[in-house]
Structure 1
């Protein structure tokens, strides 16, 4: 068997409350037609880990770095990170610390975090973990468009509470080279034109986008969880990005 050392590895990282399972429908299409794909569960989101609620962003960064290290069988082995939603914090830190290890980053209804940003900086220290909220509350924060009753049932059944330390920890960034990593934004719940306008206006959630040196944008209109609402289309988008990046 011959190993293609230049064939890219795609590392899929889901957002809050989610593990590798969230990508199952996307992987059905990616693994058949495109480069090798690995879905990972971040530390703190493994329901079988008794210490999961103590995990930090640094623990998550270390886990991503470990996956990248195992995926890179040679110095020119391309690794493409696909980060959804709240995975943006640890992935932003990986890009800051090791931009040379990432061939491209694909943000799925997400984007890079600005220096000092934290998801919930005012979350009291007494809050051990944050469970998935009721869907009517969640819908006020992120679009549930395109999700079936079955999707929501699976989400509720498999969701793991987000560790408090991950939500409180600020993202400390120091390396401007993170902005040179080629980047694709897959815009789902917010159209790309609106997102780029917000970035140019300095909106705190999107300001870092304006600083990226190599940026592509792709619109995939749906809700905030396209891996369930449009899995085949998302797989095709990721595959096309990988093909162009190769």
Structure 2
């Protein structure tokens, strides 16, 4: 995968419960010299969409590809995709379906998923959506390091429940070319040395990392939401990754 430009479009996609607004602080730093950086809200995470709880991973992947079209992304002008946390499932589908349109993928405290995996396969069909858990519970599941009380309150009040179908749907991948897309892992709550060790050991969460053909790793020590705890540094990492000609 090569790019004919050193200034590709950057598309930022946040994880569960979050919309484009989650990247505001990062975009403030990126847009000073990279005006082609944009953030998107995945289907199902727009609080004004009355049908959002029915959205699927296929809907989310299709929306990313539709944004590619609207932004003029092509094989000659591929985009840099930045995926945080639970955005890894739809972005893995995008990489499987149209790898030639991606200059580089940047996983932010995240990584590619393996075929057949689902975030919550045992979530009952009767559960239409999963709200953000209480912050005390969330802190037991992911690191909140670096987040102020103000940021946590904004997270709590702006979070949108995650659609049940998105959480239950297995990711079906068939195109090995997805593993050829140049990749940057931004390791925040888990150090890169530990991530790579887990990948080599075949840990389900990181096994796909071992299959990537062009991998860079960057440590950005902080909690699971670096777009709020270290936005300037994260913007610099994204800018550097996007400008690489692989």
When normalised by structure 1's length, the TM-score is 0.96
Q: Is the 8 A contact 1:146 1:229 kept in 2?
A: yes
| SS of 1:107 mapped into structure 2 | strand
Aligned to 1:54: 54
Matching of residue 16 in structure 1 with residue 16 in structure 2 = yes
Alpha-carbon shift at residue 245 of structure 1 (Å): 3.4
Aligned residues: 243
Runs of 4+ in 1 over 3 A off after TM superposition: 4-7
Measure the CA separation in 2 of the matches of 1:155 and 1:204.
28
Measure the CA separation in 1 of the matches of 2:200 and 2:5.
39
Measure the CA separation in 1 of the matches of 2:122 and 2:21.
30
Alpha-carbon shift at residue 74 of structure 1 (Å): 5.2
| SS of 1:116 mapped into structure 2 | coil
Aligned to 1:127: 127
Q: Is the 8 A contact 2:7 2:243 kept in 1?
A: no
Measure the CA separation in 2 of the matches of 1:59 and 1:123.
19
Alpha-carbon shift at residue 70 of structure 1 (Å): 1.8
Per-residue deviation, residues 136-183 of structure 1 (Å, max 9, x unmatched) = 111111100000000100000100000000000000011111000000
Unaligned runs of 5+ in 2: none
Alpha-carbon shift at residue 42 of structure 1 (Å): 0.1
Measure the CA separation in 1 of the matches of 2:154 and 2:182.
34
Q: Is the 8 A contact 1:96 1:176 kept in 2?
A: yes
Q: Is the 8 A contact 2:6 2:243 kept in 1?
A: no
Unaligned runs of 5+ in 1: none
Measure the CA separation in 2 of the matches of 1:74 and 1:182.
16
Measure the CA separation in 2 of the matches of 1:195 and 1:35.
32
Seen in structure 2, the aligned counterparts of structure 1 residues 9 and 75 have a Cα distance that, compared at 3 Å, is same
Q: Is the 8 A contact 1:60 1:90 kept in 2?
A: yes
Measure the CA separation in 1 of the matches of 2:69 and 2:180.
20
Measure the CA separation in 1 of the matches of 2:74 and 2:119.
35
The farther-off stretch of 121-130 and 63-72 is 63-72
Matching of residue 116 in structure 1 with residue 116 in structure 2 = yes
Matching of residue 89 in structure 1 with residue 89 in structure 2 = yes
Counterparts of 1:198-237 in structure 2 under 5 Å? Answer: 198-237=198-237
Counterparts of 1:1-246 in structure 2 under 5 Å? Answer: 7-34=7-34, 36-72=36-72, 75-245=75-245
Q: Is the 8 A contact 1:96 1:177 kept in 2?
A: yes
Measure the CA separation in 2 of the matches of 1:201 and 1:113.
16
Measure the CA separation in 2 of the matches of 1:18 and 1:132.
10
